Amino acid sequence: MATFGLIPGAGGQAWYWHRVVPLLEAAGHRAVAVDLPASDDSAGLNDYADAVVDALGGHDDLVLVAQSMGGLTAPLVAARIPVTRLILVNAMVPTPGETGGEWWTATGQDRAQRENDQRDGRDPDAPFDPLVYFLHDTPDDVTREAMKGAPEQSGTPFGEPWPLAAWPDIPTRVLVGRDDRLFPADFQVRTARERLGLDAELLDGGHLVALSRPEDLTALLLH
């Protein structure tokens, strides 16, 4: 039996994983979704890692699963406590000394998103709409719940240089949603190869694939 530590992206809400947790538990595993101090302007990446370590420390056969911005935090956790595997889901992949704010231009995300919008017929200069980029493929009831209160995200972690000297030496997988509009699939595939030397695994779904396709994601997590 493994313990899956589920790290959310921006906004830091454990709720993001609420459709995946029961599926992992039904398969006979533990699943712990972690809340992060995203609305606290004083909290930086080490504080995010502290929250995960506090929630997961002491568990055996720990698998860390990181969504989006959670890719900045999960490796810090893996450097502190024993982790069996690290799984990135539509996640940011930082390099040593790079800030989260620098990541967008350094990786070419801004250009990739713009080109993807143009291919799909969206206006790349339109104001950001979470219904377009995050919730375009989620069920109506999940969309309504997600829109009840948009989570806050402090900019503090994005201003800090990523502190590790290298990616942790543990088995890592990269899962990519084919329909991700924020981090387009071809962009993520390229970034995984350039920064981690890994081939990404594709699945259907957008950026918030744990909300839109929890069964498909869980199947890959258990593979």
What's 28's domain CATH number? 3.40.50.1820
What is the pLDDT, as a whole number, of residue 59?
Answer: 86
> pLDDT band for position 141 (50/70/90)?
very high
Task: Provide the domain limits for residue 205.
Answer: 3-222
CA–CA dist 109, 69 (Å, integer): 13
Instruction: Give the residue among 63, 3, 52, 5 at the shortest CA–CA distance from 33.
Output: 5
Average pLDDT for 20-38: 97
What is the pLDDT, as a whole number, of residue 179?
Answer: 98
CA–CA dist 183, 166 (Å, integer): 23
pTM of this prediction? 0.96
> Residue 105 above 90 pLDDT?
yes
What is the pLDDT, as a whole number, of residue 30?
Answer: 97
> Residue 100 above 80 pLDDT?
yes
Please give the tally of structural domains in the chain.
Answer: 1
DSSP string for residues in 35-60: ---TT-TT--HHHHHHHHHHHHTT-S
> Residue 69 above 80 pLDDT?
yes
Average pLDDT for 109-131: 97
Tokens for 197? 């030397």
> Residue 149 above 80 pLDDT?
no
